[in-house]
Amino acid sequence: MKNSKPSKIRLDKLLGALGYCSRKEVTVLLRAGIITHTKNLPLKSDTKVSHEDIRFGGEPLDPPQGIVILMHKPIGYICSHDDSEGKLIYDLLPDRWNRRDPKISTVGRLDKDTSGLLLLTDDGALLHRLTSPRHHVAKVYEATLERPLRGDEMEIFASGTLMLNGEKAPCLPAKLTLVDETHVTLEITEGRYHQVRRMFAAVGNHVVALHRSSFGNLTLDDLKPREYRFIKEAEYQTLSGDIGYLFT
Ligand code: URA
């Protein structure tokens, strides 16, 4: 996704980094004719190649480093690499993608019980910028509440004075919009631990269902739970624009 000049790289290193096979397996796969060159040039594991010239099983390779995946996270999956904790959102991706180096990681986290728009990337700089507290990317959540609103929540959330338990600084102003008595949307620009649930707890309510519908300019559109796609170039530009990335 990043606009960098295509460079040549050792074949075994390229395929290893994309998770296709170990560097040792390349020789076997070359002999079996699974790894080929678009111009039928002879290949060895240490041949320097361009990503776009290589085919694996006749197919072009997965995109090189710099991918951004937009996933509709289903309820019940956790944003962690530690599989002792339960079902991982990484289990929803092809195995090969989980062997990539650099690793694919989530941009921030959604709780196990929260669904919605989740970004994943192998671009460490983008990840850092999107999650940095200095960059206020707007995120919209749809919440179902246990009790009807009492009336002062909109003002409290907008005030920038709401303190959450155990925190030293108040929450930045957040925009609450009413759908009906127990359904709201909340736009926040931070990513504190369980922030939306804790904000409602701080005003005496309880979130019974939570869904993130947008992140910056990105929305889920028709992606169903468990589905994912790469973000498009234009989306990448606007997302990057949100945080001044690529333009600095
Ligand atoms: N706020 C929460 O409480 N949970 C999430 O998953 C995201 C924001």
pLDDT tens-place string over residues 119-159: 999 999 999 888 887 888 999 999 999 999 999 999 999 99
Query: Would 23 be classed as within a structural domain?
Result: yes
| Residues near 81 by beta carbon (within 8 Å), at least 6 away in sequence | 88, 90, 103, 105
If one counts the domains in the chain, the total is: 3
Mark whether 83 and 28 lie in a shared domain.
no
Residue pair 52/62 in contact (Cβ under 8 Å)? The answer is: no
Residue 238 pLDDT more than 90? Answer: no
CATH code, 94: 3.30.70.580
Residues 61 and 58: their CA atoms lie apart, in Å, by 9
For the whole model, what pTM was predicted?
0.91
Q: Is residue 3 part of a domain?
A: no
Across the range 54-71, mean pLDDT stands at 96
Same domain, yes or no, for 146 and 174? yes
Q: Is there an atom of ligand 1 within 6 Å of 100 CB?
A: no
Domain membership of residue 24 as a residue range: 9-60
Residue 41 lies in a domain: yes
What's the pLDDT band for 171 if we cut at 50, 70, 90? very high
Does one domain contain both 147 and 204?
A: yes
Q: Which of 111, 122, 123, 152 is catalytic?
A: 111
Shared domain for 83 and 187, answered yes or no, is: no
> 218, 221, 222, 213: which is closest to 241 by C-alpha?
218
Do residues 157 and 188 share a domain? yes
Distance 171 CA to ligand 1 centre (A): 14
Average pLDDT rounded to a whole number, residues 171-189: 97
Instruction: Say whether 232 sits in a helix, a strand or coil.
Output: coil
The pLDDT confidence band at residue 243, using thresholds 50, 70 and 90, is: low
In a domain, 231, yes or no: yes
Q: Which two tokens stand for residue 214?
A: 């947008």
Q: Are residues 147 and 126 in the same domain?
A: no
The CB of 111 under 6 Å from ligand 1? The reply is: yes
> Do 142 and 211 reside in the same domain of the chain?
yes
**Any domain includes 2:** no
